[in-house]
């Protein structure tokens, strides 16, 4: 009995770690759903419809900025090259740089839309620095993007944050995004690179079906047949 108990205690941390990417997918789904369902305060659906990729990072730990640790983990999904809809998600982690909100807050939810093909290609590399390898601007808030500034209209990436109930565009400069091969291995059974996941129609895992379903639901392009920007 003692041997079984010791073995169970040894395995428990491993099981908890394996469940983290799945739990984070549920959190990313909730963040996206809540933001898009907020009356007149979500991400403009026409921007989502014309985006190439989306990055969602739930529960970004802002306190980590003080010690230079990992800021947070999340997911990237891109438009399927064949047919319609969104790809299976690849995992990312964001670290370093200025994220445009006050240090010392508890947690922040972060969403980025990649608006150009160039930005999508760069973001799918193993490491991407925001602002240095692609222009980034704070995204507009509302149901439409009619109030976009010139900087927003020409940015490769638009970004938003939600902290303590406040949802707004946020400037991201200097932060890096890296793929997380270990988390990808947890979701897919092997260490797939993000570029392979989002460009080769890898099967969406069951744990990600809700998130991909929400992306398709709120993407007007899937309903109207509009085509994305190819800046």
Helix (H), strand (E), coil (C) string for 28-70 = HHHHHHHHHHCCCCCCCHHHHHCCCEEEEEEEEEHHHHHCCCE
Are 174 and 54 in contact by the 8 Å Cβ rule? The answer is no
Grade residue 206 by pLDDT with cuts at 50, 70 and 90.
very high
Query: Who wins on pLDDT, 224 or 90?
Result: 90
Per-residue pLDDT at 132: 73
**The pLDDT of residue 13 is above 60:** no
Decide if pLDDT at 10 tops 50.
no
pLDDT over 90 percentage in the chain = 36
Q: How far apart are CA 59 and CA 105, in angstroms?
A: 11
223 pLDDT above the threshold of 60: no
Residue 114: pLDDT over 90: yes
**Cβ–Cβ under 8 Å, residues 117 and 138:** no
- Which range of 34-38, 110-114, 216-220 scores highest in mean pLDDT? It is 110-114
Residues 6+ apart with CB under 8 A from 195: 90, 124, 125
> What pLDDT sits at residue 149?
67
CA–CA distance from 24 to each of 21, 50, 54, 130, 231 (Å)?
A: 5, 26, 16, 23, 32
- 161-189 mean pLDDT: 87
Which tokens belong to 192?
């797939």
* Phi, psi dihedrals of residue 114, rounded to the nearest 5°: -95, 115
What is the average per-residue pLDDT within 198-223? 86
pLDDT of residue 4: 44
pLDDT for position 97: 61
The dihedral built from the CA positions of residue 194, 106, 102 and 63, taken in this order, carries a sign that is: negative
**Would you say residue 23 has pLDDT above 90?**
yes
pLDDT at 105: 52
Of 6-20, 77-91, 131-145, 169-183, the least confident: 6-20
- Give the mean pLDDT of the chain: 78
Mean predicted confidence (pLDDT) in 191-220: 92
In whole angstroms, how large is the CA radius of gyration of the chain? 18
| pTM of the full structure | 0.81
Backbone angles phi, psi at 20, to 5 degrees: -60, -50
């Amino acid at each position: 009995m003692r041997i079984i108990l010791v073995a169970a205690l040894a395995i428990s941390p491993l099981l908890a770690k394996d469940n983290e990417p799945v739990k984070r997918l549920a959190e990313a789904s909730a963040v996206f759903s809540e933001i898009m369902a907020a009356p007149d305060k979500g991400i403009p659906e026409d921007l989502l419809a014309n985006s190439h990729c989306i990055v969602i990072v739930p529960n970004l730990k802002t306190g980590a900025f003080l010690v230079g640790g990992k800021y947070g983990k999340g997911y990237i999904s891109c438009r399927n090259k064949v047919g319609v809809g969104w790809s299976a998600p690849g995992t990312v982690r964001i670290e370093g740089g200025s994220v445009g909100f006050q240090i010392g807050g508890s947690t922040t939810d972060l969403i980025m839309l990649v608006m150009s093909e160039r930005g999508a290609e760069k973001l799918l590399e193993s490491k991407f620095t925001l602002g240095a390898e692609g222009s980034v601007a704070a995204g507009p808030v509302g149901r439409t993007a009619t109030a976009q500034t010139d900087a927003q209209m020409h940015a490769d990436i638009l970004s938003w944050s939600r902290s303590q109930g406040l949802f707004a565009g946020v400037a991201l400069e200097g932060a890096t995004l890296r793929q997380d091969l270990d988390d990808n291995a947890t979701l897919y059974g092997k260490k797939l690179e993000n570029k392979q996941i989002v460009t080769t129609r890898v099967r969406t895992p069951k744990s990600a079906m809700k998130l991909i379903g929400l992306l398709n639901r709120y993407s007007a392009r899937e309903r109207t047949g509009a085509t994305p920007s190819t800046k």
